[in-house]
Structure 1
Amino acid sequence: MRSPFERRIEDCQRRLERTDAALLVCFPSPNLTYLTGFEESPSERHLLLFAPRAGDPVVVAPTMYDRQLAGVPIDEPPLEVRLWDDSDDPVDVIDGVLEDLLEQGGGDVSTTTDGTGDETILVDDRMWATFTQDLRACVPDATFGLASDVLEDLRVRKDEVELDALRRAGAIADRVSLEIRSRGDDLVGTTEAELAAEIERLLAAEGGGKPAFETIVASGPNGARPHHHSGDREIERGDPIVLDFGAFVDADLEAGTGRYPGDQTRTVVVGEPSAEYERVHEVVREAQHAAVDAVEPGVTADAIDRAARTVIEAAGYGDAFVHRTGHGVGLEVHEPPYIVDSNDRELEPGMVFSVEPGVYLEGEFGVRIEDLVVVTEDGAERLNDSPRGWETGGTHPS
């Protein structure tokens, strides 16, 4: 059976053919992991994947990665690895790879400063400038574009292996959410930082990997800051507490790497909240329901944002909804599609994104409710199912 990475390389090459780009170059990033299953952090060393429009892909890497790259699950098309030692100039290796691949694909980009070629090379959107400049030095007459021109449409629709991982990540977040709620009065007197650390411990105990992002515990007036950093404020009875967390899980792959995150937000209260908080919480919950209910293939991303925003504006809190309604989730916690005004991209089955409207009242409190959803053939599937009400301890409505 072919690996997902072999299929992705071929899909990438087909899209390069359609866009008439000569090749795509990735450096250590989610794009590299998506195409090869190889994960590494960027460094000053040249580690680059070259995926040509036609022909076999090539990886240029330091010799120290030889054994790791031997395990990359790509046999067809075969993945060629060209290694360089620390005493070598890696740009010489890159120059040779570019010359070979462009000639192989019928390209016309000279590797000398007086060349007259006009091929297009797509580079990783986040590639460090030093590597991009080295590529430009090798092919000074090429036109450079972004790898997202080809890879975004591939990565935005998740396959079943990816969806399985995202469902498991969602279930882990659900279990932790239930556990935190059940503690009720025990949360009083705990600092935000202590509760954030406990949430991360529980995520790991439930089978999660590293946190998908910095866990947010924002109590009382701190909840009015959407990306508050959990601090030493002690939780008090009656405080609204915004809880935003998730953990990565490994995709079920025979070989190669693929880690996918959970991302869930609930806003809870120990004891009895104020009447205004109850009203705002209900408005946000209605807005989130309206947005999820609007999800189906063919609907635009901005229509989902509008569905949530309309509810909040009608309740008089429009100015307090200060961020987009959602963001795509995959190998990265934030990726396309972005659920935001003016994004007219149509939703397609397999897209996964957050739906997280919020209201933030400076000096008082904030409320955010977030679930991940996947677009299905006729609607949406929530990947989170823990209670969305504010009650803690004992039983609570969903």
Structure 2
Amino acid sequence: MTPFERRTRRAQERLRAADADALVCAPGRDCQYLADVESEQSDRLQLLVVPAEDDPTFVVPALDAGPIRAATWVDDVRTWDDDDGPGTALDPLLSSLDPSRLLVSERMWARFVLDLQERCPEASLGLAGDVLDPLRMRKDETEREALRAAAEVADAAMRDVRALGDEAVGQTEADLAAFVAERLDAHGGEETAFDTIVASGPNGADPHHASGDREIRAGDSVVFDFGTRVDGYVSDQTRTVVFDGDPDPEFETVHDVVREAQAAGVAAVEPGVTTDAVDRAAREVIDAAGYGEAFVHRTGHGVGLDVHEAPSVVAGDGTTLEPGMAFSVEPGVYLPDRFGVRIEDVVLVTEDGAERLNRTDRGWRC
């Protein structure tokens, strides 16, 4: 049994426990997780239907069937063509299921959800995440190795960034973002996992700054937030550095606070602890230093096939940590019109604590 089939069988157990008839997954990370098919939604309907009992079925456009059959362990791949439409393949399948409750992918296009409702008017709809999120949160060994490998690629790229030293002065944020992408590729990454953030000087006070044409100056603090994919799984790390010169007089104090907060958050991670307790451990350090109002986001988020997935490391989430869960710990302090500091590692919950997947220097001086 492949890892993908094992995941599907576990999902079916949870479907039965939830008294739901089937998962209906659009192309995306849920399909990749269950069936080893990586594709994107288009105007032609493509679905993976996983019933609570029996084997799953793909319903796909005929012109896409070959690559899907070659990629997946799922034997039942039903096709439709443009002349007749998807009902020729989908309607008999839904009729055989006669569903009263279907769980659909959160990111399925609205047009396909509405079409599904029209075809199954007696069925109530819920979210596939109710079944899949608890499974996807706990990474199996194949997933853990991919996450480790992705983190190693990001670490190698960050070491290359630091090695630039004062050569980075005069380059733009966009130049450095392109450099990061090139180094991720050189070290074996499959692609950038998200738009690389290079936020210099006052731009660092914007947690989601888009790398632009501002030139790096001596004394600027620069926030680097980037990641890549290996075997579909992502890395996500942040470092805040100064390439040359002396930073804002308050910068070193803030950086020390954020680094201490990040260490406290990681130290809190172990099985049985809740995600909001990890958030609280990091936040208390920043609050005590007087920067609580400048910490404007959650402490972290789950990491896997998606850059942001369950669990959420935030007050009130309350997910109990279990071995195999992977998430970021990334406190930050942002002082508008001056600078920002964020430090982020992905951690993996172990049997007795946490494994940091990112290991590069967390200091600020290059």
- Other-structure match for 2:25: 26
Contact 1:215 1:245 in 2 (8 A): yes
Once the two structures are superposed, what CA deviation does each residue of 1:113-134 show, in whole Å capped at 9, x if it has no partner? Answer: xxxxxx1111111111111111
Amino acid at match of 2:326: V
Contact 1:221 1:365 in 2 (8 A): yes
| 1:193 equivalent in alignment to 2:193 | no
1:225 and 1:204 map into 2 onto residues whose CA distance is: 27
- Other-structure match for 1:302: 276
| 1:333 equivalent in alignment to 2:332 | no
Query: In the TM superposition, what is the alpha-carbon distance from 1:73 to its structure 2 partner?
Result: 3.6
Query: In the TM superposition, what is the alpha-carbon distance from 1:92 to its structure 2 partner?
Result: 4.0
1:3 and 1:12 map into 2 onto residues whose CA distance is: 14
- Other-structure match for 2:141: 160
- Other-structure match for 1:353: 327
Q: 1:1-398 residue pairs with structure 2 within 5 A?
A: 2-74=1-73, 79-102=75-98, 109=99, 119-250=100-231, 259-270=232-243, 271-392=245-366
Query: In the TM superposition, what is the alpha-carbon distance from 1:82 to its structure 2 partner?
Result: 1.0
Amino acid at match of 2:214: R
Answer with 127-136 or 315-324: which moved more: 127-136
Unaligned runs of 5+ in 1: 103-108, 110-118, 251-258, 393-398
Query: In the TM superposition, what is the alpha-carbon distance from 1:5 to its structure 2 partner?
Result: 0.9
Contact 1:125 1:146 in 2 (8 A): yes
SS in 2 for 1:333: coil
Contact 1:33 1:39 in 2 (8 A): yes
Query: In the TM superposition, what is the alpha-carbon distance from 1:44 to its structure 2 partner?
Result: 0.8
SS in 1 for 2:102: strand
TM-score (norm 2): 0.98
Amino acid at match of 1:144: L
- Other-structure match for 1:115: none
Answer with 90-99 or 346-355: which moved more: 90-99
Query: In the TM superposition, what is the alpha-carbon distance from 1:275 to its structure 2 partner?
Result: 2.9
Q: Which has the larger radius of gyration?
A: 1
Query: In the TM superposition, what is the alpha-carbon distance from 1:101 to its structure 2 partner?
Result: 2.7
Contact 1:55 1:101 in 2 (8 A): no
2:6 and 2:61 map into 1 onto residues whose CA distance is: 26
Query: In the TM superposition, what is the alpha-carbon distance from 1:21 to its structure 2 partner?
Result: 0.5
SS in 2 for 1:49: strand
1:185 and 1:66 map into 2 onto residues whose CA distance is: 53
Amino acid at match of 1:49: L
Query: In the TM superposition, what is the alpha-carbon distance from 1:79 to its structure 2 partner?
Result: 2.9
Q: Percent identity?
A: 56
Contact 1:91 1:134 in 2 (8 A): no
Amino acid at match of 2:160: E
Contact 2:300 2:314 in 1 (8 A): yes
1:346 and 1:390 map into 2 onto residues whose CA distance is: 33
SS in 1 for 2:250: helix
Once the two structures are superposed, what CA deviation does each residue of 1:359-382 show, in whole Å capped at 9, x if it has no partner? Answer: 000000000000000000110000
Once the two structures are superposed, what CA deviation does each residue of 1:316-345 show, in whole Å capped at 9, x if it has no partner? Answer: 000000000000000000000110111111
Amino acid at match of 1:69: I
1:246 and 1:144 map into 2 onto residues whose CA distance is: 35
2:147 and 2:168 map into 1 onto residues whose CA distance is: 29
Contact 2:69 2:75 in 1 (8 A): no
Answer with 237-246 or 125-134: which moved more: 125-134
TM-score (norm 1): 0.90
Query: In the TM superposition, what is the alpha-carbon distance from 1:274 to its structure 2 partner?
Result: 3.0
Amino acid at match of 1:10: R
1:175 and 1:344 map into 2 onto residues whose CA distance is: 34
SS in 1 for 2:53: coil
Query: In the TM superposition, what is the alpha-carbon distance from 1:246 to its structure 2 partner?
Result: 1.0
2:71 and 2:4 map into 1 onto residues whose CA distance is: 9
Query: In the TM superposition, what is the alpha-carbon distance from 1:203 to its structure 2 partner?
Result: 0.6
Query: In the TM superposition, what is the alpha-carbon distance from 1:272 to its structure 2 partner?
Result: 2.3
Contact 2:80 2:88 in 1 (8 A): no
Query: In the TM superposition, what is the alpha-carbon distance from 1:69 to its structure 2 partner?
Result: 2.1
Unaligned runs of 5+ in 2: none
Aligned length: 365
Once the two structures are superposed, what CA deviation does each residue of 1:292-322 show, in whole Å capped at 9, x if it has no partner? Answer: 0000011110111111110001000000000
